Structure 1
Amino acid sequence: MRILITVLALFITSITFAQGINWMSLDDATKASNANPEKPILFNIYTNWCGYCKKLDKETFVDPAVVKYVNENYIPVKFNAETKEMVSFLGINFTYIAGAKANYLAYVMTNGRLSYPATVILDNKGNTDKIILGYRSAENFTSDIKI
């Protein structure tokens, strides 16, 4: 009986923790944007070394209210600003800029203000509606991303 309860508890816990923001690849986001042109795109631009990026992942992006709001209202994309390979988004190719130590997509998204983390909200044509630089608590993040 104890084994059954333990297994059930682990199963329920794994389901609870598995729910999060449905981050998409650039290709999937392009397809989703073409299929849902009215839905804005939310870009989380991060780097592997950024402490506040990790804090955003660990605290803000797991908050149930943030998860629900982002998944319902946006096409969410997570993008490493230091990606060195060429990437394509909305039909445009972007390459790495060695001098900036960033992919040109991150540079364009932030209007040249390479600060991490950065949250950028775009329409389906790639026009920037809002840029939010830096860490936000769950409560502040949800109010800041409303457009």
Structure 2
Amino acid sequence: MQIKIALFLFVGLLAFDSSAQEVKWLTWNEAAELAATEKNPKKIFIDIYTDWCGWCKKMDKDTFQNAEVAAYMTENFYMVKLDGEGKEDIEFKGKVFKFVPSGRKGYHEFAAALMQGKLSYPTTVFLDEKLNMLSPVPGYQKPKPFLNIAKYFGDDIYKEKDWKTYAEGK
């Protein structure tokens, strides 16, 4: 009996991934309110996904749960999950964005605006503290390249260097 318990605990420890970290995701409204009310607001990071997107799920698991990525992002950004096919209205800068039925599903106008009309999932979007667009980044990103992109915006490197110069030094 003790051998079974020990074996069970050992297998449980092997299955536990200590490098994974859970991220606290916000809604758009929660992040926008924090940005408007906090004395020293953070930038906003938006992960635009869909329920059917396999690469979105892979990025959630591989990239956003990476301990280094999660810690950096939590410290420097309000992190928002935005369903690119979500049905709820979203208000941004005095305009109400809605779901638009199209084809079998449809799309959300806010997601389309953030992705600059290119409906590609996943797309991650970086906004500054005043909710101005810094850049959309389409496609799946592994943890290390993603962290380089996040630091480019999060550490305000974009104010001093263009992306190409920064990326060449990495």
Same fold (TM over 0.5): yes
Aligned-partner residue type, residue 60 of structure 1? T
Report the equivalent of 1:41.
Answer: 44
Alignment of 1:14-93 (within 5 A): 19-34=21-36, 35-36=38-39, 38-89=41-92, 92-93=95-96
Which piece of structure 1 moves more, 132-141 or 80-89?
A: 80-89
Unmatched 5+ stretches in structure 2:
154-170
Which piece of structure 1 moves more, 87-96 or 57-66?
A: 87-96
Query: CA 1:139–1:82 in 2, change beyond 3 Å: closer, same or farther?
Result: same
Q: How far is the alpha carbon of 1:39 from its aligned partner?
A: 1.6
Once the two structures are superposed, residues 30-83 of structure 1 have per-residue CA deviations (whole angstroms, 9 ceiling, x without a partner) of 121111554210000000000100100111111000001100111110110100
Q: How far is the alpha carbon of 1:92 from its aligned partner?
A: 3.9
TM-score by length of 1: 0.82
Match of 2:136 among 127, 131, 134: 131
Match of 1:97 among 97, 100, 107: 100
Report the equivalent of 2:161.
Answer: none
Larger radius of gyration: 2
Q: Does 1:114 align with 2:151?
A: no
Q: How far is the alpha carbon of 1:124 from its aligned partner?
A: 3.4
TM-score by length of 2: 0.72
Aligned-partner residue type, residue 103 of structure 1? H
Tell me how far apart the structure 2 counterparts of residues 124 and 29 of structure 1 sit (CA, whole Å).
Answer: 11
Report the equivalent of 2:168.
Answer: none
Is residue 27–residue 89 contact of structure 1 (8 Å, CA) maintained in 2? no
Query: CA 1:86–1:38 in 2, change beyond 3 Å: closer, same or farther?
Result: closer
C-alpha root-mean-square deviation of aligned residues, in Å?
Answer: 2.6
Structure with more contact order per residue of length (Cα contacts < 8 Å, sep ≥ 6): 1
How many residue pairs match? The answer is: 140
Tell me how far apart the structure 1 counterparts of residues 62 and 20 of structure 2 sit (CA, whole Å).
Answer: 15
Is residue 26–residue 89 contact of structure 1 (8 Å, CA) maintained in 2? no
